[in-house]
Amino acid sequence: AQSVSQHNHHVILSEAASLELGCNYSYGGTVNLFWYVQYPGQHLQLLLKYFSGDPLVKGIKGFEAEFIKSKFSFNLRKPSVQWSDTAEYFCAVSLSGAGSYQLTFGKGTKLSVIP
């Protein structure tokens, strides 16, 4: 079964700092990759996703992620964070192919941005 590792449990940054959240997965086949965000008191929503093509994907609110197949990684980045980015971020993977709808999530990374 596939698994997802998120390296940091809690990250604290000042506004305008750059962000990189690590995500590694363990599966040798073709995968679909996702980053979800959960703002305080709100439901999970999709930040960005990768299925195929350009390994650098751009999402909402200035976030981007790069898929590096050789490293089994899908790290999330933002050049300059804002206080409103305070949230919990989840990396997730699904197997590519028909009938592969099940997502496996990482344990999440809490981001706290200090004004």
Partner 1 sequence: DVKVTQSSRYLVKRTGEKVFLECVQDMDHENMFWYRQDPGLGLRLIYFSYDVKMKEKGDIPEGYSVSREKKERFSLILESASTNQTSMYLCASTNHGGASYEQYFGPGTRLTVT
Report the site for partner 1 in 30-69 (rule: CB under 8 A). 32, 34, 36, 42-46, 49, 51
What is the full DSSP assignment across 54-88? -SEEE-GGG-EEEEEGGGTEEEEEESS--GGG-EE
**86 near partner 1 (CB under 8 A):** no
Are 20 and 76 within 8 A, CB to CB?
A: yes
Q: Which is nearer to partner 1, 24 or 94 (CB)?
A: 94
Of the candidate residues 14, 107, 112, 114, the single one contacting partner 1 (CB under 8 A): 107
**105 near partner 1 (CB under 8 A):** yes
What one-character DSSP code corresponds to residue 101?
-
Of the candidates 52, 49, 74, 47, which has an alpha carbon nearest to the alpha carbon of residue 62?
A: 47
The contact set with partner 1 (CB under 8 A) reads 6, 9, 32, 34, 36, 42-46, 49, 51, 90, 92, 94, 98-108
